[in-house]
């Protein structure tokens, strides 16, 4: 673990000393940004080979000229690659454009306007989505934009509180969907346990057209050599007799180039047919050259796994720095808890109730930008004002260390001031 010790006995300092330390940080005029989970330049450089791996050979395995229109479901070899990565069958995969978030947006908007394989348009039915929280702000933004009411559900160590989920979906036919980031949730780094996956697949829903948007954005983004397993939701739904419930999404945004990778969706045959019907109105075909580049660059899932180990070697010291500094500065003081993720892009920090917004403001005033407090909850409102998402991937290690020293100081000051108020 990285320790970057600057003060061997911080626990002995009093509030005045902490405030003085905060002021000295402020005087440094820092300009650090820990807001978004972006890959750093060194990570992006790992995929430079993508840029010239095609040369002038732009034919897919079946002879398709990838420079031209068509093949809406994606190149067969790209579908096979994602199938391996997502633990599904190639026929269940649609390979899309550059963004899985755009695919999620389309799935939701098309369900609102035209319905799903299971029922008519959601629009007019006052649809609701379950939102395990803390969660991903851009999922919540889709719901907010289209007036889908969000119902927060607490997260446990193995996924959402399933007693609550089962109760809500069974009792209310307007609950049409649910967001899930199943392996390395954003921001908690939680991995859904097998029992949770099976309950999600088998639970009785009042809505026949209930959909789980299974955003497997961090499917292969491990920080450890022996990653925790994740059961296949698609297989579990099929086994439970609810084959159309799961819509699985993923992309190479944090494997190759963020925003210039390839996205994919996996679902039942009926859902694939239905969604391709919608896609055919939207586009004459996605960027197959980029799909072919990815297949040539990686060859297969083993190629992706080897590549992800290079990402982990860059990211792990940054994650270790975050947790080591939190532990050294705050450990045992009862002023914060935090996740220690074994994959994904975030560390989730919980302050005492009523302190998160203040910590984010204090850090900002001293030159460290953090994700807005509340962003990890529906409508941007953390009911306990305590959760902060830390995103250590982009800044260089030395900056992550500096930023975290400051964040820890802010947390302790805010917590102590609140306790004495
Ligand atoms: C959970 C999750 N899903 C989706 C995305 C965005 O994916 P894409 O770049 O494929 O649109 C992110 C990016 O931070 C994310 O954290």
- CA nearest 188: which of 390, 328, 359? 390
Residue 5 pLDDT class (50, 70, 90 cuts): very low
Which domain range does residue 230 map to? 62-299
Ligand 1 atom 3 nearest Cα: 217
Assigned token pair, 52: 């010239």
Same domain, 88 and 154: yes
Same domain, 201 and 349: no
Is the CB of 250 inside a 6 Å radius of any atom of ligand 1?
A: no
- Is 354 within the bounds of a domain? yes
Question: Is pTM beyond 0.75 here?
Answer: yes
Query: Rounded to an integer, what distance in angstroms lies between the CA atom of residue 370 and that of residue 184?
Result: 20
Terminal CA-CA length for the chain: 36
Instruction: Name, in order, each residue with C-beta under 8 angstroms of 220's C-beta and a sequence gap of 6 or more.
Output: 85, 255, 304, 305, 308
Which residue bears the tokens 């992706």? 304
For residue 247, the domain's CATH number is 3.40.640.10
What pLDDT digit, counting tens, does each position of 210-225 carry?
A: 999 999 999 999 999 9
**Position in ligand 1 atom list of the atom nearest CA 98:** 10
Residue 36 pLDDT class (50, 70, 90 cuts): confident
Residue 217 alpha carbon to ligand 1 centre in Å: 6
Residue 100 alpha carbon to ligand 1 centre in Å: 7
Kindly state the helix (H) or strand (E) to which residue 34 belongs, with its residue range: strand 32-34
Same domain, 238 and 295: yes
Ligand 1 atom 15 nearest Cα: 217
Q: Please check the confidence at residue 12 and state whether its pLDDT lies above 50.
A: no
- Is 227 within the bounds of a domain? yes
Is the CB of 215 inside a 6 Å radius of any atom of ligand 1?
A: yes
Residue 368 alpha carbon to ligand 1 centre in Å: 23
Q: Please check the confidence at residue 178 and state whether its pLDDT lies above 80.
A: yes
Kindly state the helix (H) or strand (E) to which residue 250 belongs, with its residue range: strand 246-251
Residue 99 alpha carbon to ligand 1 centre in Å: 8
Q: CA 14, 417, 372: angle at the middle one, nearest 5? A: 115
Same domain, 351 and 286: no
What pLDDT digit, counting tens, does each position of 349-400 carry?
A: 999 999 999 999 999 999 999 999 999 999 999 999 999 999 999 999 999 9
> Number of folded domains in the chain?
2
**Position in ligand 1 atom list of the atom nearest CA 250:** 10
Ligand 1 atom 2 nearest Cα: 217
């Amino acid at each position: 673990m990285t320790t970057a010790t600057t003060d061997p006995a911080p626990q002995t300092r009093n509030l005045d000393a902490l405030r003085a330390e905060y002021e000295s940080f402020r005087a440094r005029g820092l300009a650090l940004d820990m807001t978004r989970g972006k890959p750093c330049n060194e990570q992006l450089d790992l995929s430079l080979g993508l840029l010239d791996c095609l040369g002038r050979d732009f034919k897919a395995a079946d002879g398709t000229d990838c420079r031209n229109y068509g093949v809406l479901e994606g190149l067969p070899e790209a579908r096979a690659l994602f199938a391996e990565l997502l633990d599904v069958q190639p026929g269940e995969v649609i390979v899309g454009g550059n963004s899985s978030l755009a695919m999620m947006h389309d799935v939701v908007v098309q369900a609102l306007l035209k319905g799903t394989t299971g029922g008519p348009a959601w629009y007019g039915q006052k649809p609701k989505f379950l939102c395990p929280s803390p969660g991903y702000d851009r999922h919540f933004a889709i719901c907010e934009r289209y007036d889908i009411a969000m119902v927060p559900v607490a997260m446990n160590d193995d996924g959402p509180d399933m007693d609550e989920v089962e109760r809500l979906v069974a009792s209310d036919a307007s609950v049409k969907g649910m967001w899930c980031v199943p392996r390395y949730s954003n921001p908690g780094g939680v991995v859904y346990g097998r029992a949770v996956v099976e309950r999600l697949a088998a639970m009785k829903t009042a809505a026949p057209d209930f959909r789980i948007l299974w955003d497997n954005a961090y499917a292969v983004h491990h920080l450890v050599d022996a990653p925790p397993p994740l059961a296949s939701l698609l297989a579990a739904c099929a086994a439970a007799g609810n084959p159309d419930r799961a819509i699985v999404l993923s992309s190479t945004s944090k494997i190759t180039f963020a925003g210039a990778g390839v996205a994919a969706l996996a679902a039942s045959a009926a859902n694939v047919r239905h969604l391709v019907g919608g896609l055919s109105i939207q586009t004459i075909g996605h960027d197959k050259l980029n799909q072919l580049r990815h297949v040539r660059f990686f060859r297969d899932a083993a190629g992706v796994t080897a590549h992800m180990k290079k990402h982990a070697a860059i990211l792990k010291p940054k994650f270790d720095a975050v947790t080591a500094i939190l532990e050294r500065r705050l450990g045992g003081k009862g002023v914060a808890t935090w996740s220690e993720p074994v994959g994904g892009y975030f560390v989730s920090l919980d302050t005492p109730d009523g302190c998160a917004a203040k910590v984010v403001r204090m850090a900002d005033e001293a030159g460290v930008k953090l994700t807005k407090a509340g962003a990890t909850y529906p409508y941007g409102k953390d009911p306990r004002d305590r959760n902060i998402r830390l995103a250590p991937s982009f800044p260089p290690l030395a900056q992550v260390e500096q930023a975290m020293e400051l964040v820890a100081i802010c947390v302790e000051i805010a917590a102590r001031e609140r306790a004495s108020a």
